[in-house]
Structure 1
Amino acid sequence: MDFLKRTWAEIDLDHLAFNVKQIQKCLPKDTRMMGVVKADAYGHGDRYIAKEMENLGLQNFGVSNLEEALSLRESGVESDILILGVTPASAVQKLSDYHITQTVYSLEYAQKLSDAAVRTGVRVDCHIKLDTGMGRIGFHAGDDYIATEQIISAYRLPNLDFTGIFSHFSSSDDISNEGIAYTKKQKEHFDQTVAALEQKGLYFKVKHLQNSAGVLNYRSCHYDLARVGIILYGLPLDTLPDCDIPLKPVMSIRSAVSMIKTVQKGDCISYSRRFTADKEMRLATVPIGYADGYLRAFADKGRMIVRGQYAKIVGSICMDQLMLDVTDIPGVQAGDVVTVVGSEGSCQVTLGELAGIAGTIHYELACLVSRRVPRIYQKGGKTVGIVDYIVEE
């Protein structure tokens, strides 16, 4: 299999399998793992990632929207899929036909979904979403129990089958005393609301609350599912003492030197003359830029690995290209592989390092790897698949 060796992302399925096994050790035996594969599996490519997760035994997946759910079905995923966000009520036929579970987050939305399902003559599987403190979507679940009667009304609507109930930790990666207290309060609100509903005769087959940080930091939570996202991909989170687990990054990003040039003292480099050489230098042009998801904010502080050594970025990062200082790295030539994110020898560049430069989080950077960057899937040291979005479109 071949692809344009301009800039590409290598996806290590063996590392994915390693992470799954490490995470399973954190879960009670009766708690299943939901693989969260929204945003194209956090930029890793949902088709291969979800199928590999199925091969590893996962039977539940979480996505953001209907399009993502249909993408999984079209790629052959047969496991349960939960849409965590909003789906227009007019799409009930597809929800039913493709056996996709929809989140219900308000009585108003439940009524619209039910009306559409009755008109269409279908039934829709649903999970109730409680807002226990995230403040995003969901039936308000607090000490006042406002949600209980609204959920009972939604539960009784025709053509909706409520098989699950869940909420979402907002601060489970906040290991300060305040963060811990807030997370425990969220759990309390969830448990109290579920208990109040059960007292009214409403029972759910599936309950889930933990996200990735919740799995690591709050292992006493015993629910039917745990929604695991970012740690599946080997990207670490802040953990309480003794709660960290070994993880392996699933994605590496590579490029290749396109040109080597010598510049003289006083020569200006890139847009806005951002960099001026203070001596004779050798620069390597690399075909990656912000249109690939490599942010302009990485200029000046960003670095890559060439021939086992770090090379600093000089000048502004362009849409499609950037320049590296390789003056002190012998033998660099056009065609040399450049490690943008990943390891080479004793050198490593992580998404966390780049996130620190840009003042953001590694989640965002993984999702920003653009669709013109082919994903190359590797297993057992061999390439087992390629997804090249631009060519396929």
Structure 2
Amino acid sequence: MIENSYIEINKKALKNNYEFIRNLIGANCELTSVVKGNAYGHGIKNFVPTAHECGVKSFAVFSATEAKEILDTGLDFSRIMIMGNIDNDQLSWAVENDIEVYVFDQLRLSNIALQAAKQGKKAKVHIEVETGLNRTGFNRKDLTKTLEFIRNNKDSVEISGMCSHLAGAENIANYYRINKQIKRFDNLEKVFQEQEVTAGKNHLACSAAMLNYPKTVKDLVRIGILQYGLWPSKEVKMAYMVKNKVMEDPLIPVLSWKSKVMSTKIVKMGEYVGYGNSLLAETDMRIATIPVGYSDGFARSLSNQGKVIIAGHRLDVVGIVNMNLCIVDVTNAEEVKIGDEVVMIGEQNGTNISVASFSDFSNQLNYELLTRLPNDIPRIITK
């Protein structure tokens, strides 16, 4: 079957990015790969084995469904950690398969302890504490009771870590708030010591925090966007490059998104292109139709402003992006023909469209654009 588009995952780029990250965190800090959101659009089933080949054996996801996708690869893992949603009827499965689970309220902690006791096993939990994001996590006043419960149920609950989330470490506007969170986290570490409870791996840093706030690098770092060769924000990238006097980007994007030209034709001057009347041909035009539209993650907001690369030319998307296709102006690229490779994200003949520039056109964050790439687009590993 011929696919409308496909995604390439560059293993060499991934190795480069992990080397960059490991040099920053040091040998004594565990690198945990965050693969929620279908591995940020890269595809869990394809990405996790590739990361595993690069030496990463610790993974974090949002849901039990994602954790099962990792488990189903059949590889050996040092850690699979659910940071978000897991229903009560999935807790028994998590305990049985040594899946580690964030707990941020007493109900979840009690339920997983109960399931572990039934199996005669220990549930592996990460105690999430509230430091100022005000989303999920134990407040300080509740933490003492939580640790007392764990001491009283030490045969069914084992603490694998203490953790918290930061409220926007990629933006200097949050500097005061982030530093306040770091201080709170450090103070909450002391509560574990006072209660004589081992906290396991302490972890606070995400990609942005690892770069902007090095003191958040503790026993483990949860790295998402950076491993994929993308920066948390332009601000973070600029700060790193200025601080380290680096001229070339040390990261290499892992993902490329490609398609092929479906058809070409001439549109006469004075005719409209595509649906509606958003684009009038002011001269005779030659257009190419690409079988990629908003149902594929190529946003409708790219109408009359998106870019693609064909035959080494950066070309304009014209007219309205449809559900399953878009139209490109190839008037000045006479060599373009049916079957030619089309690059939506990536590089061709020295010309590049980055995820960042692509998301600028569509008014989406890097994270949002990538995670909206449908699961059914084939992912191909390249060396």
Same fold (TM over 0.5): yes
Distance 1:203 1:183 in 2: 25
- Structure 1 residues 222, 341: CA separation in 2 closer, same or farther (over 3 Å shift)? closer
What's 2:113 paired with?
114
CA contact (8 A) 2:288 2:330 kept: yes
What's 1:220 paired with?
215
Q: Using the TM superposition, give the Cα deviation of residue 232 of structure 1 relative to its aligned residue in structure 2, in angstroms.
A: 0.4
Distance 1:344 1:328 in 2: 17
What's 2:123 paired with?
124
What's 2:341 paired with?
337
- Structure 1 residues 103, 278: CA separation in 2 closer, same or farther (over 3 Å shift)? same
What's 2:104 paired with?
105
Deviations 1:197-249 (A, max 9, x none): 21111112211110010111122334110000001001123323426861000
> Helix, strand or coil for the counterpart of 1:191?
helix
1:164 has 2:161 as partner: yes
CA contact (8 A) 1:50 1:77 kept: no
- Structure 1 residues 326, 222: CA separation in 2 closer, same or farther (over 3 Å shift)? closer
Instruction: Name the aligned partner's letter for residue 72 of structure 1.
Output: I
Q: Using the TM superposition, give the Cα deviation of residue 154 of structure 1 relative to its aligned residue in structure 2, in angstroms.
A: 4.0
CA contact (8 A) 1:107 1:153 kept: no
Instruction: Name the aligned partner's letter for residue 177 of structure 2.
Output: Y
Q: Using the TM superposition, give the Cα deviation of residue 180 of structure 1 relative to its aligned residue in structure 2, in angstroms.
A: 1.9
Instruction: Name the aligned partner's letter for residue 193 of structure 1.
Output: L
Distance 2:88 2:158 in 1: 15
CA contact (8 A) 2:9 2:256 kept: yes
Q: Using the TM superposition, give the Cα deviation of residue 291 of structure 1 relative to its aligned residue in structure 2, in angstroms.
A: 0.8
Q: After superposition, where does 1:279-298 map in structure 2 within 5 Å?
A: 279-298=283-302
Q: Using the TM superposition, give the Cα deviation of residue 21 of structure 1 relative to its aligned residue in structure 2, in angstroms.
A: 0.3
What's 1:242 paired with?
243
> Helix, strand or coil for the counterpart of 2:21?
helix
Q: Using the TM superposition, give the Cα deviation of residue 355 of structure 1 relative to its aligned residue in structure 2, in angstroms.
A: 1.6
Q: Using the TM superposition, give the Cα deviation of residue 275 of structure 1 relative to its aligned residue in structure 2, in angstroms.
A: 1.7
CA contact (8 A) 1:126 1:161 kept: yes
Instruction: Name the aligned partner's letter for residue 43 of structure 2.
Output: G
Q: Using the TM superposition, give the Cα deviation of residue 120 of structure 1 relative to its aligned residue in structure 2, in angstroms.
A: 5.3
Q: Using the TM superposition, give the Cα deviation of residue 183 of structure 1 relative to its aligned residue in structure 2, in angstroms.
A: 1.3
What's 1:135 paired with?
134
Distance 1:199 1:285 in 2: 66
Structure 2 residues not aligned, in runs of 5+: none
- Structure 1 residues 65, 329: CA separation in 2 closer, same or farther (over 3 Å shift)? same
1:197 has 2:198 as partner: no
Instruction: Name the aligned partner's letter for residue 67 of structure 1.
Output: T
Deviations 1:354-391 (A, max 9, x none): 22223221111111111231111111xxxxxxxxxxxx
- Structure 1 residues 156, 357: CA separation in 2 closer, same or farther (over 3 Å shift)? same
- Structure 1 residues 266, 346: CA separation in 2 closer, same or farther (over 3 Å shift)? same
CA contact (8 A) 1:304 1:312 kept: yes
What's 2:178 paired with?
183
- Structure 1 residues 286, 40: CA separation in 2 closer, same or farther (over 3 Å shift)? same
Q: After superposition, where does 1:37-56 map in structure 2 within 5 Å?
A: 37-56=35-54
Q: Which moved more, 1:101-110 or 1:85-94?
A: 85-94
CA contact (8 A) 1:65 1:85 kept: yes
Distance 1:139 1:231 in 2: 28
Aligned-pair RMSD on alpha carbons?
A: 1.7
What's 1:74 paired with?
72
Q: Using the TM superposition, give the Cα deviation of residue 121 of structure 1 relative to its aligned residue in structure 2, in angstroms.
A: 4.8
> Helix, strand or coil for the counterpart of 2:93?
helix
Q: 2:4 aligns with which of 2, 6, 17?
A: 6
CA contact (8 A) 1:253 1:342 kept: yes
Instruction: Name the aligned partner's letter for residue 31 of structure 2.
Output: M
CA contact (8 A) 2:192 2:199 kept: no
What's 2:358 paired with?
354
* Count of residue correspondences: 371
CA contact (8 A) 1:8 1:375 kept: yes
> Helix, strand or coil for the counterpart of 1:330?
coil
Q: Using the TM superposition, give the Cα deviation of residue 146 of structure 1 relative to its aligned residue in structure 2, in angstroms.
A: 1.8
CA contact (8 A) 2:44 2:70 kept: yes
> Helix, strand or coil for the counterpart of 1:152?
helix
Q: Using the TM superposition, give the Cα deviation of residue 54 of structure 1 relative to its aligned residue in structure 2, in angstroms.
A: 2.1
Structure 1 residues not aligned, in runs of 5+: 380-393
CA contact (8 A) 1:42 1:367 kept: yes
1:230 has 2:225 as partner: yes
Instruction: Name the aligned partner's letter for residue 198 of structure 2.
Output: Y
> Helix, strand or coil for the counterpart of 1:272?
coil
Q: 2:58 aligns with which of 57, 60, 63?
A: 60
What's 1:390 paired with?
none
1:300 has 2:304 as partner: yes
Percent identity over paired residues? 27
Distance 1:154 1:348 in 2: 55
Distance 1:35 1:68 in 2: 13
What's 1:384 paired with?
none
Deviations 1:118-151 (A, max 9, x none): 34554311111112122221112xxxx3243232
Instruction: Name the aligned partner's letter for residue 198 of structure 1.
Output: Q
Distance 2:352 2:145 in 1: 52
1:146 has 2:141 as partner: yes
Distance 1:102 1:33 in 2: 17
> Helix, strand or coil for the counterpart of 2:331?
coil
Q: 1:312 aligns with which of 309, 313, 316?
A: 316
CA contact (8 A) 1:89 1:116 kept: no
